[in-house]
Structure 1
Amino acid sequence: MNDSTRIGRPGTGISRRSFLGGALGATAAAAVVAGTAASARADDLAGAGDAKRPIPPSGIGMHLYTMRGPLAQDFEGTLAQLAAIGYATVGVSGRHGHDAAQIRGMLDRTGLKAVLEHVGYGTIANGGWQQALEDVRTLGGKWIVIPSLPGSMLNPAGYREAARAFNEAGLAAREAGLKLLFHNHEPDHRVVQGELLYDILLNETDPALVGFELDLYWAAKGGADPARLFQEHPRRFPALHVKDMAPNGDFADVGSGVLDFAAMFQSARRGGVKQWLVEHDRPADAFQTARNSYAHLAALRF
């Protein structure tokens, strides 16, 4: 894909309410970040004349939702193949009949490290939060991730309720040596009753207790500009879902679509990014997706 067609080039961030026209939405609007955000960008790009940097090998991971088909057939064998491709880490999403200790054993045997696990929002209120925290510790992870909010909460009052719940659950997570993250989807970037829902979570959660696992595909599809989020909310995005977008708006292997990851990642250090986790929601061939996506991220320089 020619760079001129990619979304997220420097200085052409996607506005909140526009997306590529037709199937893809409207063209990304120019993003000029002033004041402290501009200073932050300058800091991030200091030494821009130096050689561009790669993603650290220890930071390239696979979100296991991508591999759910193979995992259901052979969990440990799938992990071994991911390690052979070059992946260092995984995000756990679905255990396929195994408990946390069993998965940890398979990870240790294959040389992979779990950095996080997705846990349903209801776990916070149903009495299962402490066990969920202990399971993430058993897996060896750093972060416990709420992957979405119930549809009934997709309004400002619901997001304020979620922010309060996240702060409380985040305190318990910190006491367990972990951190709570929230994973976004397209609806999180909507304006409802005059308020941008994602901003409610960003502004009304304690940065010391709550961070974000930013899904780059859903952020772009919702009209957000990941690079600008990194600049304006420093150190709040320790993990990413690196998911590409096909020209028709569907999912694509990383590097084969229209998202300009190099442009987004110029501000990744400012955003606090530590993990770049590949994801594809509907891969035709999960292992081929894993190979293609790893090759692109390993070669990427920004």
Structure 2
Amino acid sequence: MTAMKRAGTGLNGTRRAFLGTSMGLAAALGTALPARAGDASGCRRIPRGGIGMHLYTMRNALAQDFAGTLEQLADIGYATVGVSGRHGNSAADIRRMLDAVDLKAVLEHVAYDTLKGSGLPQALEDLHTLGAKWPVVPSLPGALHTPDGFREAARQFNRIGQASRDAGLGPVLFHNHGTDHVVVDGTSLYDILVTETDPHLVGFELDVYWAAKGGADPATYFVRHRRRFPALHVKDMAPDGGFADVGSGTLDFAAMFDHAREGGVKQWLVEHDSPTDPFATARNSYAYLAALRY
């Protein structure tokens, strides 16, 4: 979906479309050309409707001005967001603010204990209110970081995923961190979740930075476990191992995304855990992903 179409019609929609194009081009001119996989003839690109922002990146700005932050993201060109923290707003409040700037929520991070407990029905109802598709477990409690703990989590995920499907939503997704890729007795904890959950009920929001940090290869997962990864956290790694704006670090996104279609990726959500200037990060990262060919 193009920025012009996404932004809608009328003066405000035209303004957002113009700003999204001009700001993206300006940022791109100041950024190194995206890396490609293979030769320079790569012609695939990320659909504009698939470039989103995971709102954890913008948490400080959202706490000051939630509606204004969303408007700036729409102006840059983002089409979607992943919700992570509401900053005192209800699901209905956030939906109104998203609708006002033609952004769409695609998922929300909800605590594991909430989803496996009595809070599940309300969480699923809130997803409907937001207009989102996927409930996402952002992390597992530290006490579960054993093979048996992850097997118990897999059983809970299947149950949560069934409830989500029954509610007319997508499968429950799991968001990984580096410690989820620890190998115990020859088995990766993360692989326990992948292999011991029902593909129809459970998928994954793969954080490519944490996967790489944990020694895993995202592209290999896309190939081996097709259509299990509808959403990504696109986060880059600085040379010192810290966080970087997408396209400015060391990860080879072109090679990684060459297999994204096999993995079933629909959403590429930008994330930076500790941006110095979240709006600069948002502009730089959007420009890179919009220009990327692979």
TM-score range, shorter chain: 0.7 to 0.9
Which ranges in structure 2 are unaligned for 5 or more consecutive residues? 1-30
How far is 1:51 from its partner? 5.2
How far is 1:125 from its partner? 3.0
Deviations 1:141-170 (CA, angstroms, capped at 9, x unpaired)? 011000110000000000000000000010
Q: Does 2:152 correspond to 1:158?
A: no
Write out aligned runs for 1:158-237 (5 A): 158-178=149-169, 179-237=171-229
Q: Which residue of 2 aligns with 1:14?
A: none
Task: Indicate conservation of the 8 Å contact 2:238/2:249, yes or no.
Answer: yes
Q: Which residue of 2 aligns with 1:64?
A: 55
Q: Which residue of 2 aligns with 1:85?
A: 76
Q: Which residue of 2 aligns with 1:136?
A: 127
> 2: CA distance between counterparts of 1:177 and 1:214?
23
> 1: CA distance between counterparts of 2:281 and 2:92?
28
Q: Does 2:243 correspond to 1:251?
A: yes
Q: Which residue of 2 aligns with 1:118?
A: 109
Task: Indicate conservation of the 8 Å contact 2:116/2:160, yes or no.
Answer: no
How far is 1:49 from its partner? 10
> 1: CA distance between counterparts of 2:232 and 2:168?
20
Q: Which residue of 2 aligns with 1:285?
A: 277
Task: Indicate conservation of the 8 Å contact 2:53/2:269, yes or no.
Answer: yes
Aligned residues: 262
How far is 1:50 from its partner? 7.0
State the one-letter code of the partner of 2:107. Answer: L
State the one-letter code of the partner of 1:90. Answer: V
State the one-letter code of the partner of 1:274. Answer: K
> 1: CA distance between counterparts of 2:101 and 2:205?
25
Task: Indicate conservation of the 8 Å contact 2:115/2:123, yes or no.
Answer: no
The secondary structure found in structure 2 opposite 1:136 is: helix
The secondary structure found in structure 1 opposite 2:135 is: strand
Q: Does 2:287 correspond to 1:295?
A: yes
Write out aligned runs for 1:25-104 (5 A): 52-104=43-95
> 2: CA distance between counterparts of 1:284 and 1:94?
19
Deviations 1:166-210 (CA, angstroms, capped at 9, x unpaired)? 000100000111220000000111102332101100000000000
State the one-letter code of the partner of 1:259. Answer: L
TM-score (norm 2): 0.86
Deviates more, 1:50-59 or 1:248-257: 50-59
Q: Which residue of 1 aligns with 2:233?
A: 241
Q: Which residue of 1 aligns with 2:27?
A: none
How far is 1:268 from its partner? 0.3
How far is 1:9 from its partner? 6.5
State the one-letter code of the partner of 2:188. Answer: L
Task: Indicate conservation of the 8 Å contact 2:52/2:270, yes or no.
Answer: yes
Deviations 1:8-42 (CA, angstroms, capped at 9, x unpaired)? 967xxxxxxxxxxxxxxxxxxxxxxxxxxxxxxxx
How far is 1:126 from its partner? 2.6
State the one-letter code of the partner of 1:167. Answer: N
The secondary structure found in structure 2 opposite 1:241 is: strand
The secondary structure found in structure 2 opposite 1:167 is: helix
Q: Percent identity?
A: 69
State the one-letter code of the partner of 1:60. Answer: I
State the one-letter code of the partner of 1:152. Answer: A
TM-score (norm 1): 0.84
The secondary structure found in structure 2 opposite 1:234 is: coil
Segments ≥4 residues shifted beyond 3 Å: 48-51
The secondary structure found in structure 2 opposite 1:174 is: helix
Q: Does 2:128 correspond to 1:145?
A: no
Q: CA RMSD in A?
A: 1.9
